[in-house]
Structures are given as C-alpha cells and as structure tokens.
Structure 1
Amino acid sequence: MQFLRTLRAVRRTIVLVGVFIYAGTELILTRPKDRVARADWLHRFCARAIKRFGIKVDVIGKPPDKGVLISNHLSYMDIVTFAALHRCVFCSKAEIRTWPVLGWMTTMAGTVYVERGRGGSAVKAAKGMQEASAAGLPVIFFPEGTTSNGEGLLKFHSGLLAQAMASEEPIVPAFIRYHLDQDNGPDVSIADDVSYWGNRDMLAHIFKFLGLKGVRVEVRFAEKPIQFSADVLHRKVAADEARVAVARVGGIRV
C-alpha cells in the first residue's frame, strides 16, 4: 500500500509541475494586471489542479459573488478549493508568501498580505478589501489566523474582521472539512495527512497528500450574512459571534 501511495504521489507531482508550468506560461503571456484578471487566472489554475488530482468537491449552499467570506482553516488546500469554486481575492498572513508553489501563486493572484504587529498593515488590508469590492470580487480570509487539525475552532482574531465590518460589506460564514477513502490504510488520518498544521515540513506533507486516494472536500456556505448583535463595535465580541456563526455552518459546537 505504501508503494502504491508513493507511486501515486510521484505521478501527481509530475502532473502538478505540468499544471504549474502551464499556469506560469499563461501568466507570462497574458500579463494580467487588474484584480479581476488575476482572480480569473487563479480560478483557472486551481480548478485545473483540483480536476487533475481527482479531488471531489461537494458544495452545500452558494458561494457569495461579492462581500466577505470567512471560514475555518485546515490546510493549504483550503485556498486551492475556494479559488477553484469562484474567482476571489484572499487576505492572508504574510508568511504564506514563503510557502512553496502556493506562495508564488497567491502573490501573482493579488493576495492582500497582512503582517501582524506592523504599522500600516490594517490600512493595507482595508485598502485591498475596498479594491476587491470595487472590482466586484469577494474577499476571503481565515479569522483563526493559522491552520489547525480540525478538532474544533481556534480563537478568531479580530483585526481583519474589524476591517471587513468597517467596509460595511456582508460577511458570509463558511465551513470546510475533508473526507478520505478508507482504502488509504490505518496509518493515514485527516488530522495528520490532510490538515497541515504545526511545524510540519510543507514539501513532505504535500508529497504525502498527493499520494492519497479518494480525497473529498465538503464546503458549506451559510444562506445569509452574519447578523451581529448590538455589541458589534466591540471587536472581541464580534470575533466571538463570527466564530459561533462559522461553527454553526459546520454543525459543530464551540
């Protein structure tokens, strides 16, 4: 079984390189400059990758075509999945720029990077959200601020959420989870081999992920934007309410 997983991973790595070269060539030839064109490029690239790897995506609800979308965060595949479903702009932590492949991809797609604790970062995020909104693109970010193993929800950071609320755009909660074919064997788990968290080596994790079979992604979108309470001006209260809203979409308790 391990041999078959390795063989599958090697084959898909070759496919990934091909998809990456194709996307890079397309980027160089078309030179998309505005946010819409870049979002279109990212959407095509991610949709192509999802299809080539045979990953099935089950969508419950309708992804918003404007405003702000917030979700739990489990893996680098969250970004690929959401981008494959709809053209969008991501607002993300600056560390993603250093991620193999995905860092280059998101940078070229016009992702708004936020550097925690650095002056002007909030202003940059607000400006990026405004530009995306003006272009008619939904903005996606993960309030947990990092990935987890999927056992519950981490505490939501209030910074980006406050900027999103200040923009007065509707904020729609979503929830993403992964399922695996049981044929992968007892030594494989979603928490360790699909979710990417902690200090794991990213390239090693990607290679192992590519060797998995029967990966299915379930994405749930809320029917309506979050209706914040009267204490909405208190950032911490708003973050807690947003966390509850995301958990409700996923059918979990927090």
Structure 2
Amino acid sequence: MGITITVHGSFPEHGSLITNHQTYLDIVTLATLHPCVFVSKAELLKVPVLGWMTKMAGTVFVERGRGGSALRASAGMKSASASGLPVVFFPEGTTNPASELLPFHSGLLAQAMAADEPITAGYLRYTIGAENGPDVSVAENVAWGDLPMFTHIFRFLGLRGVHAEVFFAPSPIAFTSDTLHRKEAAVEARNAVIALAEQRRPIEVL
C-alpha cells in the first residue's frame, strides 16, 4: 500500500492548525508534512495501535471533564509555541467519516484563542484508486467509524492508490468573536474549515 499526498497552501509555521478529522491517518499525514504537536483526548491512549501512534507523535493528552484538563492543554500549547512548533487539534472531537462536519467543540479553541496566537484552518480529503473496486469506499475503508481498530487497519492495508489532499487556508481565521463568546467562535472556525472543503481543485500527485 502506498500513500501519496498533495498539498494546497502552506502548513502554518506557528500558532494552531484546526482541521476536519476523518481517520487516524490524519495524524500521520499532517506529521509527515511538518513538525507539530497534536492535542487530543486521553481516551485515545486506550485504543490499540492508535494510542501508540499518537503518543509517539508527541501528542498532548487532555481528559474531558476532569479538573485541570484545560490548564494542561494550555500548558501543552504554550510549550509547543515556545519550541517553535505549531499545535494541531481536531475541533470535531472525534473521527467523522461523514462529508458534513460535526459541530466544533469550543474548549481547546478557546485555549488557542487565549494564547493570542494565529489559528489557521485546514482540510483533509482522501481518494482511493479505481482498482479497489466499486464496492470499496473512502467512507468505510479510509475514514474510521464504528469498526474495531484492527478490522479497519486490515481493510486499510489492502487498499491501493490511497491519496491524501491537504488544504491550508492562506491566512489565519479573522474571528469576530472572543473567548467570552467561544460558542460563536467555534461556529466561525467550523465555517472556515467548510470553506476549504468546498474548494474543488484538480489533484496533481507530487
């Protein structure tokens, strides 16, 4: 199995990057493009293979609903910023194989906004080769939904012609909301990612 990647725009050099989240492959794809630090939910540590992958990628893990979680996330973001690395997180909060984005969670977004660093939108899209057959789809074989992890990995490793297309916004999100209105800011962030998703550009494999 080989994976090719096409990039539109530039990975932000600092601040935060927010994107949609279809599959664990998102982490591999983005980490391949640029050194960065991921922020994710602590439950991922318990997922076979994925827990190890995210830990090796230098992920900052936060526990939802547990006291001090926001402070740990903020500390992780500040540490990454001090090291000159961009921070990546997925505001949907879970993998989502559907084409329509889930509502964005506002917690990590508020932390990123409070850090007064730029927040840039990104979008990932995957395609697979026609040689996989008409019954094989991105939604079921690349994106990770309800299948057990090992079952999904087995299917994924059998795919041919997997291609990732990554879009980066040309400039950071110009929020009109602030951290006191983080729900509104989450809507603005989601709209920025949707704007990238709606782009239709020809794929040129590099």
- Report the TM-score range of the alignment, normalised by the length of the smaller protein: over 0.9
The answer to whether the 8 A contact 2:40-2:59 is kept is: yes
Query: Whose helix proportion is higher, 1 or 2?
Result: 1
Cα displacement (A) at 1:114: 1.3
CA RMSD of aligned residues (A): 1.3
Secondary structure in 1 aligned to 2:71? helix
In the alignment, what sits opposite 1:221? 168
Report the structure number with the largest CA radius of gyration.
Answer: 1
Q: Does 1:163 align with 2:111?
A: yes
Secondary structure in 2 aligned to 1:245? helix
Cα displacement (A) at 1:123: 0.5
TM-score of the aligned structures, taking structure 1 as reference length = 0.76
Secondary structure in 1 aligned to 2:191? helix
Per-residue CA deviation, residues 198-246 of structure 1 (Å, 9 max, x unaligned), is: x311111011101000000000000000000145530100000000001
Cα displacement (A) at 1:115: 1.0
In the alignment, what sits opposite 1:209? 156
In the alignment, what sits opposite 1:142? 90
Paired residues for 1:1-254 under 5 Å? 53-197=1-145, 199-230=146-177, 233-251=180-198
In the alignment, what sits opposite 1:22? none
Amino acid at match of 2:58: G
Cα displacement (A) at 1:54: 1.7
Cα displacement (A) at 1:95: 1.5
Per-residue CA deviation, residues 2-53 of structure 1 (Å, 9 max, x unaligned), is: xxxxxxxxxxxxxxxxxxxxxxxxxxxxxxxxxxxxxxxxxxxxxxxxxxx4
Moved more, 228-237 or 203-212: 228-237
Amino acid at match of 1:98: K
Cα displacement (A) at 1:111: 1.1
Identical positions, percent = 59
More relative contact order, 1 or 2 (CA 8 Å, 6+ apart): 2
Greater than 2 Å deviation, 4+ residue runs: 99-102, 230-233
Return the alpha-carbon distance in structure 2 between the equivalents of residues 83 and 93 of structure 1. Answer: 18
Return the alpha-carbon distance in structure 2 between the equivalents of residues 95 and 168 of structure 1. Answer: 28
Amino acid at match of 2:45: R
Secondary structure in 2 aligned to 1:152? coil
